A and B are shown apart, each in its own frame.
Chain A
Amino acid sequence: MSEKIPAKQRLRDVVDSVYRAAWEAKERGEPVGWSSSKFPAEIPETLGLAVTYPENQAAGIAAKHGGQRLCEYAEGLGYSNDICGYARISLAYAAGAEADERPMPQPDFVLCCNNICNCMIKWYEAIARMHNIPLIMIDVPYNNTVDVPEARVAYVRAQFEDAIAQLEELTGRTWSNERFKEVCANANRSASAWLKACGYCSVKPSPLNGFDLFNHMADIVTARCKPETAEAFEQLAAEYEEGVAKGESTWHYDENYRIMFEGIPCWPELQALFKPLKDSGANTVAVVYAPAFGFQYTDVDDMARAYCRAPNSVCIEAGTAWRADLCKENQVDGILVHYNRSCKPWSGYMLEMERRWHDQLGVPVVGFDGDQADPRNFSEAQYQTRVQGLAELMAANKAAGGQGK
């Protein structure tokens, strides 16, 4: 009897197949797109278009230590080193820099949605100009209210229709409502299984380490509309369930403390990030970045609403509550905030969020400086001191009999 393939491996295979499919499409002479991570993937998927994801590629390159090389390449082209590291890596690759860490075919069109950030717009415009290819844009305004107003839903939905029309014209493919329904059903199934898997972090002790979720995010970003993704996530959730039953965890150390890790990890420095957490037995049991990709919706308007809710596009009240609820549900003892030099929109409102969490949750909140892709912006010694300080504060709180409010 053949061994069952672990979910981790299946998830990795699914992402590889996305990139493989893009290469095969290119070989067949079909157009290949590059898409921002929160562009409604349902649209290209319904049209059967091969699409790859520069943010995912950049994270992969950074994790394999190619980030600095590509960032410097982009800086050599004249891009400022203040620009997001993902953007610099992607612009370098688009301009011809080699990246054996995660190669992908050059684009024939780009799909951009600024629900994640506005840096995205200039980044994709630059790629479109470099390759002289069309840019299909979905503009999602920043949500300064907790609920998404109906006028905004209509505005975003109309842009879905426009994007579909542009892609039909560009690729000669025909839209099928039937197929769209199937794709949306797959996407919702993936999201639901993904959220279920993320939810196991609330079990004490947790059957997983939150950093696992960062790794599996590649699937929810690049392949959320595919049935094999949904199946792999369902298996992942089942494995966590089994872990709970058997008292096993993917975190192989003590769980003395449970923390929320806020922000994108420093991909080039995963070992360094991990070490002091491991040493002090601080397991990451809450990350907002991962469940933020679990888009669930009932119809097209609701889909527009879902795509309006990305971490950087919601107001500070919604963003604070989102994380505070997660901290309460998952019973965290402390919060570690990554002040990410790359991601200004994310890091910018952290100072105020930190203050609110400290007051609302009564747990220690500690920040460190780093970067998701550019290793030049991270200092291991400074990070270690801050994590040790956090662990000591959590220890003192526990000794005093508290876990926060």
Chain B
Amino acid sequence: MLFLGIDIGSAVSKCVITDETEAIRGKGLSPGGAGTGGPQAAVAMALADAGAAAGDIAATVATGYGRNLAAAADSTMSELSCHAAGAVKLYPGVRTVIDIGGQDAKVLSITPAGKLDSFIMNDKCAAGTGRFLEEMSRVLAVPIDEMADVAGRAAHELQISSTCVVFAETEVISRMAEGAAVGDVLAGIFAAIAARVGALAKRKGVVPEVVMTGGVAKNEGMRRALERELGTPIHVDPLAQYAGALGAALFASQSGL
């Protein structure tokens, strides 16, 4: 029996298919979030990856901002519960999950028994989220996946004091106009996001082991900056971006359908 978890984010849709032993059988990821063809494409990829057909899926749970738009889902769960469940599966022993998605950042406290205890999310502002990085990537003309390498070559970290996306853009442009090196600016951007997300994490209390999930977790520069900010190692699983979808698939298998 197979179970499908769909995580429809603001920019990317992710899917995971698990079986009754909770093993991952397939996964799919497609650009395009709620209201686009992204979710269907991700489902098709996951099914192909699992060598399964739609009819093989016994239950589906949707999560993410677009969860209520997933017509095929039997039920929805918030991304808070799903990221917690996914992170615990990927990294048993995790006590703090930091998830940075396209438009929000959240910190989850996990009990020693692997259950979600409490959570905190960013306020309405997009600072400290994936959207902030995307904007900076555009302004500096450095593709997201190259950002960490460029920042890694920084001679020193420039201070970016604005956390507002719009203000930070102005600040970055003026730094560049002053002749700052792109790497130094990027290192400053990572530090600025880390400071903001770090403050959220400290408010909640950072208990190791700390795991990062969500799309931004793939960004090595971001992980290093957060480690420095929190003074603790942060684990990132290769499937970090799928944590929410994995959690949703696990909830689907527990729903007893």
Contacts and interface: CB of A to CB of B under 8 A. Distances in A.
Interface centre among B77, B117, B118, B203 (most CB of A within 10 A): B118
Interface string B71-98: 0000011111100000000000000000
Interface string B34-65: 00000000000000000000000000000001
A396 B65 CA distance: 22
Interface in A358-386: 358, 364-367, 369, 377, 379, 381-382, 384-386
Nearest to A389: B80
Contacts of A93: none
Contacts of B78: 385-386, 388-389, 392
Nearest to B64: A385
Contact of B119 (A366, A377, A396): A366
A369 B117 CA distance: 21
Nearest to B68: A384
B65 A381 contact: yes
A385 B10 CA distance: 13
B99 interface: no
Contacts of A379: 124
A140 B98 CA distance: 44
Interface in A88-139: none
Given A339-B123, A351-B203, A379-B124, A385 B118 contact: no
A260 to B, nearest CB: 16
B138 interface: no
B156 interface: no
A392 B65 contact: no
A129 B56 CA distance: 73
Contacts of A384: 68
B115 to A, nearest CB: 6
Contacts of B79: 385
B120 to A, nearest CB: 8
A393 interface: yes
Q: How large is the interface on A (under 10, 10 to 19, 20 to 34, 35 or more residues)?
A: 20 to 34
A392 B80 contact: yes
B160 to A, nearest CB: 23
B104 interface: yes
Contacts of A367: 120
Prevailing SS type, chain A contact patch = helix
Interface in B116-130: 116-121, 123-124
Contacts of A339: 123
Contacts of A389: 78, 80-81, 119
B73 to A, nearest CB: 14
Contact of B104 (A351, A366, A382): A382
Interface centre among A369, A389, A396 (most CB of B within 10 A): A389
Contact of A392 (B77, B104, B123): B77
B123 A369 contact: yes
A173 B121 CA distance: 55
B121 A382 contact: yes
B124 A382 contact: yes
Contacts of B117: 393
Given A379-B124, A381-B65, A382-B104, A365 B77 contact: no
A393 B118 contact: yes
Contacts of B203: 351
B105 to A, nearest CB: 12
B121 A388 contact: no
Contacts of B81: 389, 392-393
B14 to A, nearest CB: 17
A367 B116 CA distance: 16
Given A382-B104, A382-B124, A364 B118 contact: yes
A364 B121 CA distance: 14
A367 B104 CA distance: 14
A386 B121 contact: yes
Given A369-B123, A382-B124, A393 B116 contact: yes
A-B pairs, 7 with minimum CB distance: A389-B80, A388-B78, A389-B78, A392-B81, A369-B123, A369-B124, A385-B78
7 contacts: A358-B118, A365-B118, A386-B78, A389-B78, A393-B118, A396-B115, A396-B116
Given A382-B124, A385-B79, 15 more contacts: A351-B203, A358-B118, A365-B118, A366-B118, A366-B119, A367-B120, A379-B124, A385-B78, A389-B80, A389-B119, A392-B77, A392-B78, A393-B81, A393-B117, A396-B116
